[in-house]
Chain A
Amino acid sequence: MITFDNVSLTYPNGHQGLKNINLEIPKGEFVVVVGLSGAGKSTLIRSINQMVRPTEGRLLIEEEDSLAMNTKNLRLLRRDIGMIFQNYNLVKRSSVLRNVLSGRLGYTSTLKSILNLFSKEDLQYAMECLDRVGIQDKAYQRADTLSGGQQQRVSIARALSQKPKAILADEPVASLDPPTAHAVMQDLQQINKEDQITMVINLHAIDLSMEYADRIIGLRDGEMVFDGKASEVTEQTFEDIYGRAIKEDDLIGEAESE
């Protein structure tokens, strides 16, 4: 359970990223955050694992205020939350397996990790995660030899290898073509259903949001302007959130194959 209690975030340059957010995300929910770019979607997601630090309010994760945590507890918190990025954020020159293993770093002592002494169980588990996203055969290839969709799957496997309670995804499919985007979203949906892992995902494509989300949260200028079930959402809702008419750019299109 993730609870935002009156959370605000002001950047050092004075820009207000979040304004008085109140939000509760129960375990296992598939939440999609929508809004125009600059509306604070990224800030909201990154607040959860404190990649950016809210300046006011309380942010409870499993009943504990994460803003009051010391560095060590914060690292333990981050270990329990997987994260997926728009640009995959893989070490391009390292092998796929090594990239997945970096998800195990929070469980590995500094010395062991620097000497590359991952346990046999860690290796097996990393392989299993790769298997779940269907690219186990690529384990020993260099990450940059993979296609965009495959690279994003590696980063999903990396998040999975953390055995997370929640996964945050910041525009995970924005760099992918429509069929691949749907495939990746389906992977995330499957993981959400099978493992009961909470998903908080930023999307800008309206049709993707409506198709995969349980719940949609709308942001505008750092304020929460919408919160409701995906089934209740219409295109009109998006026009309200965006403050403008829907354009073709806001849609990604159907999955052609898959």
Chain B
Amino acid sequence: MTDLNKNTNRIPVLPSKTKKTTTLVFAVVLLLYTMSVIQTEAYPHQIITNIPIVVDFFIDDMLPPNPSYFADSFFALLETWNIALLSTTLSALFCLPIAFVAAGNINRNWALYHTTRFSLNVLRTIPDIIWAVLFVAFVGLGALSGVLALFFFSLGIIVKLVSETIEAIDPGPQEAIRAAGGNLLQVIWFGAIPQILPQFASYTLYVLEINVRASIVLGFVGAGGIGQLLERQISVFNYGNISMVILVTFVAVTIIDTVSTSIRKRLV
């Protein structure tokens, strides 16, 4: 115990106020958790006792994946990938002009700056699935609604990241170009863009990773891609096919993530 006492002398002992707050936080978290558990019936002991059930199910029903379903899964996944690629491209294209409006060091117009920021926050609040439902309602079933949904979904994310990069750039080059008689576009194009290009490319890839994941869900509401396949197979309880779809998706997501991450590492 003497050792322990020595240790407590080295580290500042918590003041009583902090202790009270900590207890309060614990109590609140515990209370919320109890309420959640009652609501969801996910009792902690069940999580442990259910592990064997999940494992058994996985081995008995999910394995092996149905190889004859590979082609169907592959082409559905290709559509998912295409939706992700096209929507990411769209949001990257629209990102640059908007990001400059959303950057406080470029856009000095207080009202415009805050309106843009606020709209972007609203965009980011809305979950991907809601965008998908909305666009299925607006443009009908199919990949088009998926592309538009993910475009709006990812626009908020990428503009936020890029505008923060813009706010952190060195103002020197822009000053120099302004002093040399450049107009606003030239100041941005020569003074700011070269500085943010690597981060911009990196964030685009990051958003592509996010969109690939998000696009898997889209099909459940009819917005195209592999989700449609999954939904159909789930409704007929064909677990061999389902596990093929999951396997193909897992491999594809892993490949896309690995490639994207290694490119991003080289960029920045």
Contact = CB atoms under 8 A, between A and B. Distances in A.
The answer to whether any beta carbons of A and B sit under 8 Å apart in the complex is yes
Interface of A: 49, 51, 75-83, 85, 87-94, 98, 102-103, 105-106, 110, 113-114, 155, 158-159, 162, 168
Given A90-B172, A105-B181, 18 more contacts: A81-B179, A83-B176, A85-B176, A87-B172, A88-B172, A89-B170, A91-B194, A91-B195, A92-B170, A93-B194, A102-B173, A102-B176, A102-B191, A105-B186, A110-B185, A114-B186, A159-B180, A162-B181
B85 to A, nearest CB: 26
B180 A105 contact: yes
Contacts of B195: 91-93
Residues of B contacting A: mostly: helix
Contacts of B194: 91, 93-94
A256 to B, nearest CB: 29
Interface string B165-206: 000001011011111111101100111001101100000000
A106 B197 contact: no
B31 to A, nearest CB: 50
A71 B178 CA distance: 12
Nearest to A75: B181
Given A93-B194, A113-B189, A76 B181 contact: yes
A78 B180 contact: yes
Interface in B59-96: none
A105 B183 CA distance: 8
Given A78-B179, A106-B182, A90 B189 contact: no
B64 to A, nearest CB: 51
Contacts of A113: 186, 189-190
A10 B190 CA distance: 31
B183 to A, nearest CB: 6
B183 A91 contact: no
Considering the complex of A and B, which 5 residue pairs feature the smallest CB-CB distances, nearest first? A106-B181, A79-B181, A89-B172, A89-B176, A78-B181
A102 B197 CA distance: 18
Contacts of B173: 89-91, 102
B177 A102 contact: yes
Contacts of B182: 75, 102, 105-106
29 contacts: A49-B179, A51-B175, A76-B181, A78-B180, A78-B181, A83-B176, A83-B179, A85-B172, A87-B172, A89-B170, A89-B176, A90-B173, A90-B176, A91-B173, A91-B190, A93-B197, A94-B190, A98-B190, A102-B176, A102-B177, A105-B182, A105-B186, A106-B181, A110-B183, A114-B185, A114-B186, A159-B180, A162-B181, A168-B179
A113 B194 CA distance: 14
B110 to A, nearest CB: 14
A94 B172 CA distance: 14
Contacts of B177: 102, 105
Nearest to B174: A89
Contacts of A89: 170, 172-173, 175-176
A143 B247 CA distance: 48
A114 B198 CA distance: 18
Contact of A79 (B175, B180, B185, B190): B180
A155 B181 CA distance: 15
A83 B191 contact: no
Contact of B190 (A81, A88, A105): A105
Given A93-B197, A105-B190, A113-B190, A85 B181 contact: no
Given A91-B190, A91-B191, A93-B197, A78 B176 contact: no
A158 B189 contact: no
A155 B183 CA distance: 19
A163 B233 CA distance: 72
Nearest to A71: B183
A92 B191 CA distance: 10
A77 B178 CA distance: 11
Contact of A83 (B170, B180, B189, B197): B180
B176 to A, nearest CB: 4
Nearest to A94: B194
A81 B195 CA distance: 25
A75 B180 CA distance: 8
A120 to B, nearest CB: 19
Contacts of B172: 85, 87-90
